Amino acid sequence: MNLAFTAEDEAFRQEVRGFIAANLPPALARREAMGFHNDRATVTSWQTALHRRGWTAPGWPVEFGGTGWSPVQRYIFDRECGLANVPEICLIALSMVGPVLCRFGSPELRERFLEPILRGDYWFCQGFSEPEAGSDLASLRTRAVRDGGDWIINGQKIWTTDAHMADYMVCLARTDPEVKPQAGLSMIIVPMDAAGVTVRAIETLDGDHHVNEVFLDNVRVPAGNLIGEPNSGWTQAKFLLEHERTHNAYAGMLCRYVARIPALIEVGRANGLPETQATEYRRRHARLAIDVEALEWSVLRVLAGQPGPALGAAASALAVRGAQCLLRAADLEMAILGPQVAPAFRPEDGVPLPAFAPPAAAGRTTQYLYWWAATIFGGSDEVQRTIIWNTLYR
Amino acid sequence: MDFTLNSEQTMLRDSARRYLAQAGGASWQGYAELGWLGIAAPEDAGGLGGGMADLAILAEELGRALAPEPFVDGAVLATRLVDRLVVGHRREALLGEMIAGTRRLTAALYEPGRRYELAPQTTAVRDGGGYRLSGTKVLVMDGAAADDLLVTAALDGGVALFLVGREQAGVDGRAYRTVDRRDCADFRLDVTVEADRLLSGDALDAVEDALDEARLCLCADMLGGMDSAIEMTAEYLKTRTQFGQKLASFQALQHSVADLFIDADSVRSSLLRAIPAFGGERAARRKAVSACWVNTFETAKRVTGMAVHLHGAIGFTTEYRVGHYLRRAIVSERLFGDVEFHLARYMAG
Ligand SMILES: Cc1cc2nc3c(=O)[nH]c(=O)nc-3n(C[C@H](O)[C@H](O)[C@H](O)COP(=O)(O)OP(=O)(O)OC[C@H]3O[C@@H](n4cnc5c(N)ncnc54)[C@H](O)[C@@H]3O)c2cc1C
C-alpha cells in the first residue's frame, strides 16, 4: 500500500492548474461559481481549449481520444477543476454517450459521432426516464418499430436534461415487447431536429431551466442509429450509468465549497455576523471538511479499485454521501449570508442584486435547491441503498 | 389544560381552510372581508381582539395554502405596532383603515450589513418643525404595495418609530421578489416628515414584542406548510406505481414519511408551548418564541426537502406544489432572525 501522492502526481497537479489559469475565461468561472446551469455558448471557448490540449474526455479509451491518465490523475484533474470553478461540459455526450459508443458502437457510429463530440459540435441528451418509468426504468414504454431500413419511434421522455440545446438524444426504447422488460430495450440515437420530435421546457424549483419533456411522434431514424445489437439496450444503459460511477460524489464541487466557505464567513463578519455565530459556522465548516476529505478518499478507492460487488456498493455510498454533503455545504453558505440570500436572482434578469446583497449571495439558494435534485437523479438515495444491500448483504 | 380548539377557533380554522382552498389566498380585500385583518387589533379600535392562539390558527392555514399575502407583516407585525405605539384618535383611525384593508402598513426594521440588529443606523434629526430621516432599510416585505412604512431610526440615543408615506419624496424604493416569489423592497430614505409622524421615541421593546407575535405566526405558517407537504407526500406515494406496486407499499418510504411526522409533531408542541407564554412575563416569552423558532426552522427545510425528494423529479418542478413549501422555508427562516440568532437569544434568556 502506498497512499501518498507521488512527485509525478504533484507535477501533474501544477500542470493542470497552469492550464486552467491560462484558459478558463474569468466570466465563465464567475458564472459557474454562482451555480447557474450553463448553456453551450457560455462554455464553447473552454471546450475548444480543452480539445486543443486533448483533455476533453479523460474517461475514453486512448485510441478514441482519451487522455490515458491514471485514476489518480483523473481525480487530480477533477479536483482542480472543481476548485477553479470549471464548469461541467456536456456531461452526457462526454461521460456517457461517448464511452458507450467506444464500447458498443459500430465503426460508422464512432466515425460519425466521436470526433464531433470531442470538439463540442454535438451535444447529447439522455432520453431514459418517462412519466411512468423513473426508478423503475425497465418499465419504459417508448416503442421503436422496424420499418424497412428505419426505426419508427413513438413515446414520451421526461426530465431530459439539456434536450432544449442538444443535437441528439440517446433514446432508450422498447424494440421487443414480448420478452421480459430488461431484455427488449435498445439504445437509439435520435436527431433532435427530426420530424416528430417536440421539446417542452419544465421549470424547476431552483428557478433554472435544465430539464424538459420530449415527445416522440412517429420519429423515423435510420436503422444504423441503433447502438450495437438490437435488444441490448439494458446492458448499455447500465454501462452508461456506471461508467462515471464516482461522478455523483461531486467531490470537486465539494472541495470548492470547503475552500471558499472560510472567506465567506469573514465577509459575513464584516456584514453584521456576530462572532459567536461565526464560530458556530466555522465548526460546521470543519465538520464538513472532514467528511469531504473522507469522501475524496472514497472516490480514490473506487477509482483505483477492483471491479466487483464491493466497488458497486462503495460507488452507491458515495453518491448518497455526496448529495448529503452538498446540501450541508449549500445550507451553510445560505446560513452565513443570512437575509442576503432571500432575493430571487437570475443572471439573465439583467437586474443587479438588491442593494444589500453582496455578489457572493447570487445563486446560493439556486444551488441549495438544486442539490435536493441530486438526491433524486442518477439513481435516488433509496435506489442506492437497495444496491448496497443487494450487493453486500442479501 | 385543554388542547381542544373552542368553537370559534374551529370555525376560524375550517372556514380559512375552505376559503383558501377555493380562493387561493391572494386577495388582501378578501382577508379584510373575512375579518382576518382585525384579529390582532383590539376591540376598542374595531378589531376582534384575538389572542396568539387565534393568530396561530389562521397563520397555519395561510402557510398550508402558501398564501402570498403579507398577513404576518401587515396584519400582525404592523397592526400590533400601531396598536401599541399610536395614541388617541389617530390610533383608531389608522387601525380602522388597516382592518378594512384600505390602508396597508409594513415595518421597515432591518438594514444592510446589520443582519437582525434592531438598533438602527438610520438617523432621525430635528429639522424645522419635523424630522429628517436618513438611512437604508432592506427586506421590507410588501414594501412595494404598502401605503406607509413603520421606520425605526436612532433619535436622541433611543430607538424611535416613524410613520412614513411610501410615496413621499425622498423615499426611494426598489422592489424585488424573494426566492419564494413574495413581494419585497429595499428603501433608501432621505426624507423630511412632520413632527406628528414620530410615533414613539422609545420603541425598542414594542418592536421586539410585536416581532415575537409575528415570529410565532411565521412558525405556525411553516408548520402548516410542513403538515401539508407531509400529507401530499403520503397521498402521492399511495398513487404512484413503480416496480409494479404502489410506492407506499415500500416500508423504507413509509418510515421516511413517519420520520417527517415525528419532526413536525415536535414543532407543533413547541408552538403550543409558546402560545401561553404570551400571557406571561417578557423574558419567558422571548425564550419560548426563540425555542419555537429554532425547532421550526431547523426542521422545516429537512421536512419540506424530503417531501420533494420522496416525490421524485415531479417534486422538483414549479408546476407541482410541494416544492414551494421548501422555497418558503428558505425565506421565512431568515425573515425575523435565523436559527443561530434565536439559539443565542434562547441561551441568553
Ligand atoms: C434535475 C434532474 C435531471 C434529470 N435528468 C435526466 C436526464 O437527463 N435523463 C433522464 O433520463 N432522466 C433524468 N432525470 C430523471 C431521474 O433519473 C429520475 O427522476 C429518477 O430516476 C427517479 O425517478 P422519478 O423521478 O420518477 O421518481 P420515482 O421513481 O417515482 O420515485 C419517487 C420516490 O420514491 C422512491 N422510490 C422509488 N422506488 C423505490 C423503492 N423500490 N424503494 C424505496 N424507494 C423507492 C424514490 O427514491 C423517490 O424518492 C433527471 C431528474 C432530475 C430531478
Query: What's the gap in Å between A376 CA and the centre of ligand 1?
Result: 5
A:316-335 residues touching chain B, CB 8 A cutoff = 327, 331, 334-335
- pLDDT per residue, tens digit, chain A (394 aa), is 677 889 999 999 999 999 999 999 998 998 899 888 888 988 999 999 999 999 999 999 999 999 999 989 999 999 999 999 999 988 899 999 999 999 999 999 999 999 999 999 999 999 999 999 999 999 999 999 999 999 999 999 999 999 999 999 999 999 999 999 999 999 999 999 999 999 999 999 999 899 999 999 999 999 999 999 999 999 999 998 887 778 889 999 999 999 999 999 999 999 999 999 999 999 999 999 999 999 999 999 998 887 777 888 999 999 999 999 999 999 999 999 999 999 988 776 655 566 567 778 889 999 999 999 999 999 999 999 999 999 999 9
Domain A122-230: which topology? Butyryl-CoA Dehydrogenase, subunit A; domain 2 (2.40.110)
**E strand spans, B299-343:** none
DSSP state of A169: E
> Which residue in chain B is spatially nearest to A345 when comparing CA positions?
B179
Reported as a single tens digit per residue, the pLDDT across B57-83 is 999 999 999 999 999 999 999 999 999
Chain mean position to CA A126:
11
Report pLDDT for A348.
66
Report pLDDT for B313.
98
- Does B246 sit in the ligand 1 pocket, CB within 6 Å? no
A368 in reach of chain B (CB within 8 A): yes
Neighbours of A347 (CB within 10 A): 13
Of all protein residues, whose CA lies closest to atom 43 belonging to ligand 1? A382
Report pLDDT for B204.
97
Report pLDDT for A355.
59
Facing residue for B338 by CB, picked from A271, A338, A382 = A338
Q: Which CATH class is domain A245-393?
A: mainly alpha
CB contact under 8 A, A271 and B139: no
In chain A, list all ranges with CATH 2.40.110.10.
Answer: 122-230
β pairing state of B105-108 and B148-155 = parallel
Distance from CA of A128 to the nearest CA of B (A): 13
Of all protein residues, whose CA lies closest to atom 49 belonging to ligand 1? B310
- Work out the mean pLDDT of chain B and round it to a whole number: 97
β pairing state of B158-165 and B123-127 = unpaired
Q: Which of helix, strand or coil describes residue A155?
A: strand
A:279-318 residues touching chain B, CB 8 A cutoff = 280-281
CB contact under 8 A, A356 and B112: yes
Q: Which atom of ligand 1 is nearest to the CA of A172?
A: 11
Report pLDDT for A162.
96
Q: Which atom of ligand 1 is nearest to the CA of A381?
A: 47
Please work out, in degrees rounded to the nearest 5, the angle formed at the alpha carbon of residue A233 by the alpha carbons of A231 and A234.
Answer: 110
Alpha carbon distance A383, A248 (integer Å) = 14
CB contact under 8 A, B305 and A276: no
- Does B317 sit in the ligand 1 pocket, CB within 6 Å? no
Q: Which atom of ligand 1 is nearest to the CA of A162?
A: 8
User: Best mutation site among B297, B299, B309 for testing chain A: the one with the most A CBs within 10 Å?
Assistant: B309
Report pLDDT for A37.
85
Instruction: Identify the CA nearest to A125 among candidates A60, A215, A192.
Output: A192
Pull the grid cell for residue A378.
442518477
| List of chain A residues whose C-beta atoms are within 8 Å of the C-beta of residue B340 | 277, 280-281, 335
Instruction: Identify the CA nearest to A380 among candidates B255, B229, B242, B258.
Output: B242
- The DSSP H or E segment spanning A150 is strand A150-158
Best residue among A136, A158, A159 to mutate for probing ligand 1, ranked by most atoms within 8 Å of CB: A159
| List of chain B residues whose C-beta atoms are within 8 Å of the C-beta of residue A375 | 309
A:196-235 residues touching chain B, CB 8 A cutoff = 202-205, 207, 211
Ramachandran bin of B183, using left for φ above 0, alpha for ψ from -120 to 50, beta for the remaining angles: beta
Q: Which atom of ligand 1 is nearest to the CA of A161?
A: 8
Instruction: Identify the CA nearest to B221 among candidates B14, B16, B60.
Output: B60
- pLDDT per residue, tens digit, chain B (349 aa), is 888 999 999 999 999 999 999 988 889 999 999 999 999 999 999 999 999 999 999 999 999 999 999 999 999 999 999 999 999 999 999 999 999 999 999 999 999 999 999 999 999 999 999 999 999 999 999 999 999 999 999 999 999 999 999 999 999 999 999 999 999 999 999 999 999 999 999 999 999 999 999 999 999 999 999 999 999 999 999 999 999 999 999 999 999 999 999 999 999 999 999 999 999 999 999 999 999 999 999 999 999 999 999 999 999 999 999 999 999 999 999 999 999 999 999 999 8
The upper half-sphere exposure of residue B17, i.e. CA atoms within 13 Å in the direction of its Cβ, equals 11
ipTM for the predicted complex comes to 0.96
Task: Enumerate domains of chain B plus CATH numbers.
Answer: 7-100 (1.10.540), 105-201 (2.40.110.10), 205-348 (1.20.140.10)
Distance from CA of B75 to the nearest CA of A (A): 22
